[in-house]
Chains A and B, each alone.
Chain A
């Protein structure tokens, strides 16, 4: 029995290594793809404010900061990337 095991141990190890290697390669490929799925761009800085301050006029940066709707909030559109 030990002789039989010794006879097949090397081919067995090779098979295990090959299967392990394939599994490892697949896992690495999955992980690589997941890791390369990056978050979208941060929003740009808002614009300047004049001497009237943020209140009492139609202050675009303050309105963008408070807006609940995306088109008013000047958020980025990453869909062309």
Chain B
């Protein structure tokens, strides 16, 4: 019985309890209470608009919150939510500034760090995305998001060694994540480690047989290593499983171009 009571009390502690408003007649104190209330209300309103996908109204709410000079954690939260709305509205430079401001207030705000990387990728600013990913992983090296995003940035910017490291680290904890296994193989292809790439692509396909991009990449590796008949079969399989018409067309063209 005592254990039950103790566990019920511990569970209740997980939720914030309503507190009575402090009673005062001091004008400045009353103004502050009203301001704090408006900040909370507007963040909740903006939060609900974002859940509905109304980014414009959400941005207006969070913009108003910031004029009220919110304390923490509302200050970093409002900047994060404003950044999210700006990103969805295509205001990418403004979103970068908002996420950066949220991180400046709360350096351990990893959701803001992750979205800062994502927005820099959307801007195709690989150098800024890489800086943000490096800072994120320096603070939290096990973050799957951090490893995945930095691996992608490294692949796109020609840093195959970092991509190899990051996708390898991600797969240590998530060995059946076929998407990362495919990206690891791409890094191996860039490093001309074709036997490793072939092994990893076959491993990805063992988990996800309909993974057309992996079948196409396997065709590329087999072609590169002189296994032309096998490459033709891989491109044929890629064409059959591709949902994307342009990939299907490309795979068919590759299959037809291979001559003995």
Binding site for B on A (CB under 8 A): 29-30, 32-34, 36-40, 42-57, 59, 61-62, 64-70, 72-81
Contact = CB atoms under 8 A, between A and B. Distances in A.
A74 B148 CA distance: 11
Contact of B47 (A37, A51, A69): A51
Contacts of A69: 144, 173-174
Interface of B: 16, 39-40, 43-44, 46-47, 50-51, 58, 72-74, 76-77, 80-81, 84, 87-88, 106, 109-111, 113-115, 118-119, 121-122, 140, 142-145, 148-149, 152, 155-156, 170, 173-174, 177-180, 182-183, 186, 189, 204, 207-208, 210-214, 216-217, 219-220, 223-224, 242-244, 247, 250, 254, 257-258
A80 B209 CA distance: 9
Nearest to A61: B111
30 contacts: A34-B220, A37-B186, A38-B213, A39-B186, A40-B152, A44-B118, A45-B84, A45-B87, A45-B118, A46-B114, A48-B58, A49-B77, A50-B44, A64-B114, A64-B145, A65-B110, A65-B111, A65-B114, A65-B145, A66-B143, A68-B142, A68-B144, A69-B144, A75-B180, A76-B179, A77-B179, A78-B179, A79-B178, A80-B210, A81-B212
Given A43-B114, A64-B111, A75-B145, 5 more contacts: A30-B220, A42-B118, A45-B88, A55-B73, A68-B173
B144 A70 contact: yes
A51 B114 contact: no
A57 B208 CA distance: 36
User: Is chain A's interface secondary structure helix, strand, loop, or mixed overall?
Assistant: loop
If over half of B's interface residues share one DSSP class (helix, strand or loop), that class is named, otherwise mixed; here it is helix
Contacts of B174: 69-70
Given A29-B223, A61-B111, A34 B189 contact: yes
Contacts of A62: 109-111
Interface centre among A50, A73, A77, A79 (most CB of B within 10 A): A79
A32 B255 CA distance: 12
Given A49-B47, A65-B113, A67-B144, A79 B208 contact: yes
A37 B220 contact: yes
Contacts of B212: 81
Nearest to A53: B73
Given A34-B220, A78-B182, A81-B243, A68 B143 contact: yes
